[in-house]
Amino acid sequence: MGLLTRLLPGTTTVGATAPAHQGRWLPGQCLICHAWPAAAACEDCRARFIPELARCQRCAAPLASAATPVCGACLREPPPLERCVVAVSYGLPWQSWVSQFKFRDDTGLAHPMAALMAAAPGARELLDAADALVPVPLTPERLAERGYNQALLLARRLAPRKTRADLLLRAHHTVPQHDLPRAQRLKSLRGAFLVEPLRARAVAGRHLLLVDDVVTTGATLHAAARALLEAGAVWVDALAFAHTD
């Protein structure tokens, strides 16, 4: 049973036959502690499971102190991303949200996940500054298998009028990245992304914001950012739901 068989703010239960407008009047329930009425992630659960954590401005990795805004790895080898913001650390309960959203067709979770992303420190500045949001694309094979691109659903929730899913292409199929060490991720992602040739003019000179669900080593975001920069983008940032600290 999906998480959205419980009520989200502004929605009805999955499969309900009530009129579309009726969801606006139904109270919501926290999907974590089941408090009612509450947001999908209530205030108490946000305070408990999203602790204040200093993160590197360039890769979103945790920092021991906020006194130095950039981690040692990014100082030694600056990434192609100017800034990277994430909402949560990848662990319970958020790991369950990602699994339901990404692998179990619980696409309604895009709404509360995007809300947490937009509320993350620094996220609003990235969203306002971006000329376009670019969801990290899937290969046609992976898209056919899953039926939707989770990054695109998040981007559309964050800024539907700025979302451009037609700018970046996945050039070739790669093995699932989550179980690969960083060196193998980097190798498998070489040349994995390219800018749609007919859309190159929409990339050149623009400030772009990549959107994805989870950042692990950053290899996927870096490969996508390099493709956009090589096509003429002047600035690429990233916004994701979770970081595997």
pLDDT tens for each residue of 201-238: 999 999 999 999 999 999 999 999 999 999 999 999 99
For residues 49 and 88, is the Cβ–Cβ distance under 8 A?
yes
What global pTM score does this model have? 0.84
Beta-strand relationship, 168-170 and 193-195: antiparallel
- Token readout for 94 is 């958020």
pLDDT of residue 10: 35
Burial zone of 192 (CB within 10 Å; 0-12 exposed, 13-18 middle, 19+ buried): buried
pLDDT of residue 66: 84
Look at domain 52-243 and name its CATH class.
alpha beta
For residues 201 and 174, is the Cβ–Cβ distance under 8 A?
no
For residues 135 and 181, is the Cβ–Cβ distance under 8 A?
no
93 cis-preceded (ω within 30 degrees of 0): yes
- In the chain, CATH 3.40.50 covers 52-243
pLDDT of residue 182: 54
The closest of 242, 237, 8, 245 to 124, measured between CA atoms, is 237
The closest of 129, 99, 127 to 115, measured between CA atoms, is 127
Listed as ranges, residues in the chain with pLDDT below 70 are 1-27, 172-190
pLDDT of residue 77: 95
Q: What is the strand order of the sheet 235-243 is part of?
A: 84-89, 235-243, 207-215, 132-135
